[in-house]
Amino acid sequence: MRKLLLISLLACILSPSLLAQVRYFEWIDPKTTLRVKLEPDTHELWKEVKGGVWVKSNAVSFDEKIVADLPGDYSVHSAFYTGDSVVTFTLHGMGNVYTYHTNTQTLERLDHSFYKGYNFNSTEFIRQDTLYSFGGYGFWHFNNTQTFFDKKSKEWFLYKSKNKGPETIKGGLQGYDGAKDVFYSGLGFDDPVMIGGKRENSKLFYQFDFKTKEWTYLGEVNKNLQLTNTHLEIYWNGRYFIGWSTDELYIIDPSENKIYSNSKIELAFDAGGKLHTKADTLLYYSSNGRTILKYAIKNIIENSDELGPLYTNSIFTSNYMPIGLGVLLLGGLGAYVQVRRSKRKRSSYYTEQEENLLSAFIQSGSLSTQDINDVLGSASKSLDNQRRIRSITIKQINQKLFEAYGVKEGIEKQSDVEDKRLSIYNLQESLAERLKKDGRFL
């Protein structure tokens, strides 16, 4: 039984050998579940009327600079309908963001990006009308970079988390659950540069909560889930991970922590195809361009066996549970005492805003102007007010750092090396360590 699947969202992710011949934008119309193709070189829009049968629809208007800025070959990475008549899509390994307006039949490039090659196979998703990109591969490294696209500035920005999450977000189980407003990450590829050139999958499973901006380690992925190394053929539909190994079909429910396994269903998916979900229906579009298959996810689950939990946390699922709880209790008590001491030390020293900003600096080392505005809660204010609040807060912190440690300009302002028009603020490394060690600031 042949069971191969390509990782995909709404647009195809093609193998390098196929990418070389691609010079068009393609997405799936969620209303018809048929494909749409836009050819920038000819300004022509084509629509699929049934599997593999295409008709020319209309001419598309756009600035010719769009074509001039395209590389020799390209393909759509992710595509989203962000309204009844607007399609937003991105390209592989690039920061390019485009919108196609179906009502006016116009194409527009939204971004001012010039960076390329750092985010191949990143996980992209729409959250609250904002485009996000987590992880990916580029420059011989897998990464865990979290970014979002700001429509007003037309640039990508880092999305800061409060703590450390997975080492890499690439491959494996990666997906955003809009209903719970969380991002799942597990079985990601370990960075081959860091582990002697080998490519392995991390067994750790995490959840990122957008409400708290924190990563939570949930446990180790069930070792009976045979989706490792070259068997990582997985699709996320917004609720389930749907994965194929050489022997079984898996429906993985991270929110309920369950895995369903089905070795009976006959599938014929190939690595050049793509997947799309509409309601409970999973649609497969074959690489031959003619075959469209449909599967009801509910029926697949009903005819599957429950394999067990997706992840387990060894502290709570072993005979050492009482010991683990004891350690956690003692650790929690110790942490509580430390926090109380620390609060007494700093309660009259730093304001809440100053604490928040120092915490962000300690975690990141450097912050952009936008990052500081977000921490201080001034992003919605006028530019003059942003500048004033930023200047006063940093001046007050520097004064207190000088009084406590004798260090002038503990927070320094410098020009961004990539773009001299932008400013970067840095906290001196020695100060970060001293703030942590002497208990004055957590």
- Scan for tokens 């928040």, then name that residue: 356
Q: Please indicate, yes or no, whether residues 187 and 49 belong to a single structural domain of this protein.
A: yes
Mean pLDDT of 370-393: 85
DSSP H or E run through 56: strand 53-59
Domain presence at residue 108: yes
Among 289, 312, 335, residue at a domain's last position: 312
Do 173 and 59 share a structural domain? Answer: yes
Closest CA to 32 of 47, 53, 46, 13: 47
- d(CA 245, CA 263) in angstroms, rounded, equals 10
pLDDT at 117: 76
pLDDT > 90? residue 5:
no
Residue after which a domain boundary falls, among 252, 285, 312: 312
Residues 267 and 409 in one domain: no
Structure confidence at residue 327 (pLDDT) = 53
Residues 157 and 228 in one domain: yes
At CA 338, angle to CA 333 and CA 339, rounded to 5? 95
How far is 354 from 230, CA to CA, in rounded Å? 48
Cα dist. 92→76, 337, 431 in Å?
A: 6, 50, 40
Is pLDDT of 223 > 90?
A: no
Q: Looking at the structure, do residues 259 and 371 belong to the same domain, yes or no?
A: no
Instruction: Please check the confidence at residue 8 and state whether its pLDDT lies above 50.
Output: no
pLDDT tens digits along 228-287: 544 446 899 999 998 865 566 789 999 999 999 887 776 656 656 788 899 999 888 887
Per-residue pLDDT band for 1 (boundaries 50, 70, 90) equals: very low
Q: What share of the chain is helix, strand, coil (3-state, %, to 5)?
A: 20, 35, 45
Residue of higher predicted confidence among 125 and 197: 125
**How far from 12 is each of 219, 324, 349, 359, CA to CA, in Å?**
31, 45, 55, 41
Q: The domain that contains 288 carries what CATH number? A: 2.120.10
C-alpha to C-alpha distance for 2 and 284, rounded to whole angstroms: 14
The pTM of the full predicted model, rounded to 2 decimals, is 0.67
**Strand ranges, E, within 309-430:** 311-312, 366-368, 411-415, 423-427
Please check whether residue 367 lies inside any domain of the structure.
Answer: yes
Q: Taking 90 as the threshold, does the pLDDT of residue 184 lie above it?
A: yes
User: Is the per-residue pLDDT at 205 higher than 90?
Assistant: yes
pLDDT higher at 429 or 156: 156
Q: What is the percent of the chain with per-residue pLDDT over 70, rounded to a whole number?
A: 79
Mean pLDDT score across all residues of the chain: 82
> What tokens does 252 get?
């993985």
Residue, of 114 and 145, whose pLDDT is higher: 145
Structurally, the chain folds into a number of domains equal to: 2
Beta-bridge mates of residue 185 = 174, 206
**74 and 209 in a common domain:** yes
> CA geometry: angle at 155 spanning 152 and 159, to 5°?
100
Question: What domain range is 426 assigned to?
Answer: 349-437
Considering only CA atoms, which of 135, 170, 129 is closest in space to residue 152?
129
Q: Are residues 176 and 268 in the same domain?
A: yes
Asked if residue 176 lies in contact with residue 127, where contact means CB atoms within 8 angstroms, the answer is: yes
Quote the pLDDT of residue 118.
78
Answer yes or no: is 321 within a domain. Answer: no
| Residue 61 lies inside a defined structural domain of this protein | yes
Q: Are residues 239 and 138 part of one domain?
A: yes
- Residue 11: per-residue pLDDT: 41
Question: What pLDDT is attached to residue 270?
Answer: 61
251 in a domain, yes or no?
yes
Per-residue pLDDT band for 214 (boundaries 50, 70, 90) equals very high
> Do 302 and 376 fall into the same domain?
no
302/363 same-domain check? no
197 vs 138, which has greater pLDDT?
A: 138
| One domain, residues 279 and 383 | no
> Which of the four pLDDT bands, split at 50, 70 and 90, describes residue 13?
very low
Indicate the pLDDT class of residue 220, thresholds 50, 70 and 90: very high
| Res. 213 pLDDT band, cuts 50 70 90 | very high
Q: For position 380, which CATH number holds? A: 1.10.10.10
